[in-house]
């Protein structure tokens, strides 16, 4: 039905600059909801996966982590996402964001 929730997530996610990340909580609250679960669900089940980062619609789900900076079971492999994040300047340590607070983007 309404893609509004989805679009909101993507928009907010796109608002996150490179080398920065955000959390499900931040996205949900920024979207005006408390459904942190729905945020992750939208990323996973919806058409804008990380693989769409080909220059069109870019939804860097890998830039979204749990509230504690921990990389929760992403869809395409935590390892891949960890490397991607590291490439953007985000340090990953044991599947967690080392400098989480430093790279965390606040809306």
Partner DNA sequence: CGCAGTCTAGCAC
Partner DNA sequence: GTGCTAGACTGCG
Which residues are near DNA by CB under 7 A? 1-6, 23-25, 33-46, 49-50, 61, 64, 66-68, 72-75
Q: Which is nearer to DNA, 41 or 99 (CB)?
A: 41
Give yes or no: 53 in active site. Answer: no
Give the Cβ contact number of residue 37 at 10 Å: 10
Q: Least distance (Å) from DNA to the CB of residue 7?
A: 10
Q: Least distance (Å) from DNA to the CB of residue 30?
A: 13
Q: Which is nearer to DNA, 46 or 99 (CB)?
A: 46
Helix 24-31 vs helix 4-15: crossing angle, to nearest 10: 120
Helix 36-45 vs helix 4-15: crossing angle, to nearest 10: 90
User: Which residue in the list 31, 39, 61, 64 is annotated as catalytic?
Assistant: 61
CA 98 to CA 101: how far, in whole Å? 9
Of 51, 48, 46, 53, which Cα lies nearest the Cα of 18?
53
Q: Which is nearer to DNA, 67 or 102 (CB)?
A: 67
Q: Which residues are catalytic?
A: 61
């Amino acid at each position: 039905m309404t893609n509004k929730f989805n679009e909101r997530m993507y928009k907010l996610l796109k608002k996150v600059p490179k080398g920065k990340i955000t959390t499900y909580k931040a996205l949900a609250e920024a979207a005006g909801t408390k459904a942190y679960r729905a945020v992750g669900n939208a990323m996973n089940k919806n058409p804008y996966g990380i693989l769409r980062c080909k220059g069109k619609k870019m939804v860097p789900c890998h830039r979204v982590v749990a509230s504690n900076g921990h990389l929760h079971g992403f869809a395409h492999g935590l390892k891949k996402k960890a490397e991607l994040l590291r490439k953007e300047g985000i340090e990953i340590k044991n599947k967690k964001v080392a400098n989480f607070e430093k790279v965390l983007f606040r809306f």
